[in-house]
Amino acid sequence: MLTKRIIPCLDVKDGKVVKGTSFVQLKYAGDPVALARKYSEEGADELVFLDITASYEKRKIMIDVVRKVAEQVFIPFAVGGGIRTIEDIRALLNAGADKVSINTAAVENPSLVRKAAETFGSQCIMVAIDAKKSASGWEVFVRGGREPAGMDALAWAKEAERIGAGEILLTSMDKDGTKEGYDIELTRSMAEIVNIPIIASGGAGSLETIARVLREGKADAALAASIFHYGKYSIAQVKRYLKGDGIEIRI
Amino acid sequence: MIAIVDYGAGNLKSVQHALEFLKVESVITGSPDAIQKASRLILPGDGSFGFMMETLKKKKLIEPIKAFLMESLRGGRPFLGICLGLQGLFQESEESPGIKGLSIFKGSVKKFRDGKVPQIGWNRIVPKKKGIFKEEYMYFVNSYAVAPKDPSIVATETDYFGNFVSSVQLKNITAMQFHPEKSGKGGIDLLKRWLAC
């Protein structure tokens, strides 16, 4: 049986990991490569790097980070943040990223997803969806959650699958940062209508919240940032708990 | 020198990085000559069956690879196929009808009928015969799986809504559907065992 995946997410700005000031961070001094290696050794199934570098010129630093991670870390990893063109994607994949995650550009220019899937294969194209509860369901937001896209999240997920997305990284904006649990209803609703894996994000808190999104939310993978960065739980601890709870997990 | 076949697709470097980590030198090459001279040959994979076979043909690599494989079958220099590099050893694939594979093994490549496709993630490989494999989790990204006519070449099986063949081995040909170069320590250790045999 295919296992459920546990995916730590690292926010990277100007080549340094940001978010998290705990002892874990201090020890690794914000070094994405060292932190990636540590998570891999602890049993992370995959990694996601989110490049939050503001200036376009400094984006090249990320390519360098990707190259170093690829040389030293032997689990799959995705890179997202600010990807706009086929050339952006090619540069990241050539540097050694296994997948890219496309958010705003996918909404504004769906043909990018189609072209990327045709060129590089669906398996390396992840569409990231930031969704927020609305009166009628969940609405898609873009530009780091600042602007409503005027689209229904479930409809967009189906469309993303149709145009070639290989996976969906689904973030609940309502739950993000709350630590009170993932949006189970949103995740399950999406998992039931698409036939590609859903990576749930936003709201990871207690160990039980992760078990719930994998079981009741039917997510294929759970992504979390702060619970790992601040050392609340280690990856190994999370995975042992989930396995003990009867969820198919790689230990 | 180990040669990693370059056919213009796939993340060839990740295989090379894994070898570098094991302090083993390799070259990524699309030259028939380098393939003929290689101490070991690795055919990695990504992309489609048809794309791979047509590019190999265009680059005039089919004959040198086949010659290498025939030698491996006689117990000579070892060959390793990864992902499409496994599928290409068979006669044909549902992914690219009408395109001939390297046809070293009888059988075809079939699309998964159930579950989410592609299968993406870690799944358990279960050895079916003695060799370099052990029961453990490996990282998979595949929509297709091989269906060999000869069950004796099956090295491991894996369950994805039913069992499929996740690796084959015959004499010095070893080929796997999963990605050892992306399977953490277990994958690195497996490559190490392949390098030792």
A70 touches chain B (CB under 8 A): yes
Cis ω before B180 (30° cut-off from 0): no
pLDDT tens, A49-88?
A: 999 886 777 778 999 999 999 999 999 999 999 999 999 9
Search chain B and give the residue with CA nearest A36.
Answer: B184
Whether residues A45 and B160 touch (CB distance < 8 A) is answered with no
CA distance B59 to A17: 43
Q: What is the residue-averaged pLDDT of chain A?
A: 93
Correct CATH for A5-244 of 1.10.10.970, 2.40.37.10, 3.20.20.70, 3.30.2010.30? 3.20.20.70
ipTM surpasses cut 0.95 = no
Query: CA nearest B114: which of A164, A161, A2?
Result: A2
**Choosing from A45, A51, A88, A130, which is the catalytic residue?**
A130
CB A172 within 8 A of CB A128: no
CATH of the domain spanning B2-195: 3.40.50.880
Among B46, B116, B183, beta carbon nearest to A197: B116
Provide the residue ranges of all domains of chain B, joining segments of one domain with +.
2-195
**Quick one: which of B122, B179, B132 has its CA closest to B155?**
B132
User: Which of A98-107, A146-155, A176-185, B8-17 bottoms out in mean pLDDT, i.e. has the lowest?
Assistant: B8-17
Q: In 3D, which of B139, B187, B136 has the Cα closest to residue A47?
A: B139
Has residue A21 got a pLDDT over 50?
Answer: no
Contacts of B11 by beta carbon, 8 Å cutoff, 6+ apart:
A93, A96, A98, B44, B46
> Amino acid identity, residue B65?
I
| Dihedral angle computed from the Cα positions of residues B134, B136, B140 and B143, in that order, rounded to the nearest 10 degrees | 80
CA distance A44 to B183: 11
Residues of chain B found within 8 Å of residue A41, distances taken between Cβ atoms: 185
Name the closest residue on chain A to residue B115, using Cα atoms: A195
pLDDT of residue A62: 93
- B195: pLDDT strictly greater than 80: yes
Three-class SS state of A77: strand
Q: Where are the domains of chain A?
A: 5-244
A96 residue type, one letter: G
By mean pLDDT, which of A58-62, A211-215, B57-61, B110-114 is the weakest?
A58-62
Nearest residue, CB atoms, B117 vs list A45, A195, A220: A195
Residue A93, number of CB atoms within 10 A of its CB: 22
pLDDT of A41: 95
What pLDDT score was predicted for residue A67?
96
Tell me the pLDDT tens digit for each residue of A164-207.
999 999 999 999 989 999 999 999 999 999 999 999 999 999 99
How many other CB atoms are there within 10 angstroms of residue B6's CB atom? 18
